[in-house]
Amino acid sequence: MNELRFPEHFLWGAATAAYQIEGAASDDGRGPSIWDTFSRTPGKVYQGHTGDVACDHYHRYGDDVALMAELGLRAYRFSVAWPRIQPDGTGPVNPRGLDFYDRLTDTLLDRGIDPIVTLYHWDLPQALGDRGGWTNRDTAEHFATYATAVYARLGDRVDVWTTLNEPWCSAYLGYGNGVHAPGEQDPAAAFTAVHHLLLAHGLAARALRSAGAGSVGITLNPADVQPADPQSAADAAAVRLVDGLHNRIFLDPLLAGGYPDDVREHVARMVEPTFIRDGDEKLIAAPIDLLGINYYQPSYVAGRPDGAGGGGAYPGTEGAVQFLPPTGPLTDMEWMIEPAGLTRLLERIATDYPGVPLLITENGAAFPDKPGAESADGPGQVIDTDRIAYLDGHLRAAHEAISRGVDLRGYLVWSFLDNFEWAEGYRKRFGIVHVDYLTQRRTPKASARWYQEVISRNGL
């Protein structure tokens, strides 16, 4: 295949999330999160796995950052655990919690790695969960206060701030179909959570800007929604509905000034949207400096009068939409591998919502990694050719989007480490670095060495 070079100053890095890697669940004053509670609820997480220890990154961050530097990473996106900063979600700030992120930030900078902070990656303090979580408007206000506290400690060294990670998951998987914490199944709660999450972003973005933040954004997981039959009017209507619930319900208020009319009408069939108050949409639509894009697979849908719909993950699609099963080669998550979907998605966002720089904040794949023979990296290196092929294909898709005029600033692979994969526990491995959970030994996989070369060449 032809050699490809990415733009000068293209940002290469990796991403993780606090609950998935930190462990130290009760160290230094950390309070419980909704994921601590959820993972202890029988039947919610594979084999009762929890994030109590995870990758023990809380104690091993120095070695982890040294490995990032060895691999040539230029940026590292990590999330801050709200329960470490405010164990109850409100009230006094826990300085020991901030101390950890202080040390992590300094260690990254000492190694020439830019820290990118995500303020919320799903680990809501349980005390706020007990008061309704994201269905309670007060949670949005508390989030802005928390964001201000983190910025006060790290803002002199961290340039790039993202407020939320994938509010679609927080709202629909947490309150719609219940497969994520807090495990509720209520369409009204899901839509209420959508709005309060967006409001939290708006309030936090305003607070960060007032405090002096230079670059503020949010990370979404927009879907590339395609019709089963491009000639079918029913399938086109299904695409419109699913696109509204997955994409435009977030993108329009963030970047186009307000919720789209068709989505408002759909939501009103299930709940009266009194939770949207005058002035909310103006707050949500405050200008952002970057939009994080997490992409893994496309979605193919058909309009069917007897369609099963997407259940709580897409409230109101039952009896109208059929989500087609993935085809072709699949990842270990049974996700479809279609790099062209990333090109389509990036180009669509750049066209429909122009003027906002994009950053791929997550892209990667889980495969059933099997340690192989000894290598320069020691015994048990994983020869993960499937992952290399996945990443190569998606980087080529990203480059194609750039060639079509998309303002894409960088790429962060998911994930730096194998980790706690939410409801799947530890059985699914996304990392480019293998983690032996019994010994906590880190071993770069073949994909890590491949990515190291990509970074050094700034291309493929």
Cα distances from 209 to residues 216, 247, 320, in angstroms, run 8, 25, 43
Distance from the Cα of residue 227 to its chain's centroid: 25
Strand ranges (E), 284-405: 290-294, 299-303, 321-323, 358-362
How many C-beta neighbours within 10 Å does residue 279 have?
A: 9
SS3 212: coil
Task: Give yes or no: 421 in active site.
Answer: no
What is the total residue count of the chain?
A: 460
Question: Pick the catalytic residue: 281, 362, 400, 421?
Answer: 362
Residue 32 phi/psi, 5-degree rounding, is -75, 150
Question: Pick the catalytic residue: 166, 281, 338, 400?
Answer: 166
Residue 104 phi/psi, 5-degree rounding, is -60, -45
Task: Give yes or no: 3 in active site.
Answer: no
**First-residue to last-residue Cα distance in the chain:** 9
Q: What is the DSSP string of 82-114?
A: HHHHSTTSSSS--HHHHHHHHHHHHHHHHTT-E
> Residue 246 has what DSSP assignment?
I
Residue 372 phi/psi, 5-degree rounding, is -110, -145
SS3 121: coil
Catalytic residues: 166, 362
